[in-house]
Structure 1
Amino acid sequence: MRAILPLPAAATAAALGLLFCGPGAAARGQTPPDGAGRPASRPAAASPAPVTARRTGPLAPLVATCPPGRRVLGGGYEVPGRDLEQSVGASRPTADGRGWSVTADAVNPALLRRLELVEQQQDAVEAARTPRKRAAAERELAQARKAADRLPQRAPVRGTVYAVCG
């Protein structure tokens, strides 16, 4: 991930001074006048360059926290491509403004595997030729359905959360 860094305030002020007030004003650090013809205020001291904090793991939720003394400017996430339906529930700054939080989930892959077993058991019930084999297949089908019912439908996905900190 590449961050686009803004020009320091002093460099911006010097460029504007050169453009609007001439080379002497730019050398003195003056800024162009505001709309009312008054000299604009001196620029604030340059802030440190933004840094990117990141954290990888299950997005249930996952928070990337800024280094001490820094506040979050923005953030985002990256989730590797998968065939399962994915849903991002939240991607936002933390309440204290010192990190970025993401919550995401997808269809539970264990549930999908279990449902395939249920389907196979249903086929076995239909294919049973004797009452005894049919009864045994129905018992196995009931057990497979119970096991599928106990699994959650959604599961957290793994991904990476980014926080741009200033």
Structure 2
Amino acid sequence: MSSQSKTAQQPVSGKNADKVFKGVAYACGILILVVLAAVALFLLFRAWPLIGGDQKANSATISNFTGGKATNFWGYVGPLLFGTVLISALALLISFFVSVGIALFISHYAPKKLATALSYVVDLLAAIPSVIYGLWGGLILVPAIYPFWNWVAKYLG
């Protein structure tokens, strides 16, 4: 009987389980990096004809896109890139001060019950992906405020 109990499988020790988990985590991380590199290479190879190919064909294509205002790749992409960086910087600037104000209010000035409720609301808002906010803004907010902005454009120019 004692020989059977000795041959029974022993539970996996914590060190072995840690090594297995570490190996799986590293493999998953490397897989993510490989997939990201593959996507980047795919996009680069697909975009290379426009970036470094026949400049006359590129100029004609970009000129058609821009209505004749830009004739090269960077003349077309430059304003788009500048606008993206400008809007991102403005959004970060505005959101920084709003978030610091909310954090100070919750941590120092709000009553305990209100602070608890507001912290739950902030956590809930942080858990929702920003794409959902953009979708909500495009589908619901824009049609709702369109008459107001139409009036502003008409009378205030």
TM-score, normalised to structure 2, is 0.27
Larger fraction in strand: 1
Which of structures 1 and 2 has the larger relative contact order (alpha carbons within 8 angstroms, sep 6+)? 1
TM-score, normalised to structure 1, is 0.26
Larger fraction in helix: 2
Larger radius of gyration: 1
